[in-house]
Amino acid sequence: MAEVNNNSSPQNIKHLKAERELPVWSKVSDPEKVCVFDQGGGILKVRFYYVPGSTIWAVNLVYQAAAPLLTSLTQTWTPIPDQFSSMYRQALIYRMYRYINSARTEAEYQKLQQEIAKASGADNAEESNVFLSPEDPLQDIPLYWTGF
């Protein structure tokens, strides 16, 4: 987020931490966290922690909805969610080797099992609010540039 009414150089920019859920909060301060709730029907609810105060911030959020879940056998595979594309690819390779009775069938089956294990563990990993922050800034610009 960037401070709108501040003409200093460099511009006052703060990074928000994305969270899956945030409690209802009434303390007013500069926001530190943000979460987006998809309420369905194209409606998104955005919640900040803390409530923005008198300082006006411009916030740029990037949000991507998850692909629809398969609920019946009559549904098509499209669009295949990005996080599952490697699993689908490996399953196709395994089935092709199995069809031609190749000696590589067992090895490709083991790879498929690894992809399935990774895919089933991905949903659990998304539930975590644990994030990484670098010790040193990623930009090589000093916090307060004096121009010397």
The domain locations on the chain are: 1-65, 67-126
Closest CA to 20 of 131, 111, 114, 143: 131
Residue 110: the pLDDT is 95
DSSP category for residue 83: G
Closest CA to 36 of 53, 18, 14: 18
CA 112/CA 55 separation, integer angstroms: 52
Residue 148: the pLDDT is 47
Six token digits for residue 41: 């029907």
Q: Is residue 41 left, alpha or beta, with left meaning phi > 0 and alpha meaning psi from -120 to 50?
A: left
Q: Which residues of the chain have pLDDT under 50?
A: 125, 145, 147-148
Residue 5: the pLDDT is 85
- Within 8 A by CB and 6+ apart from 15, the residues are 1
- Within 8 A by CB and 6+ apart from 45, the residues are 36, 37, 39
Residue 53: the pLDDT is 82
Tens-place pLDDT, residues 53-79: 888 888 887 766 566 677 887 877 666
Put simply, whether the predicted model's pTM sits higher than 0.75 gets the answer: no
CA 72/CA 127 separation, integer angstroms: 25
Looking only at the bridges linking them, the beta strands covering 2-3 and 57-58 are: antiparallel
Residue 38 β-bridge partners: 44
Tens-place pLDDT, residues 76-93: 766 676 778 888 889 999
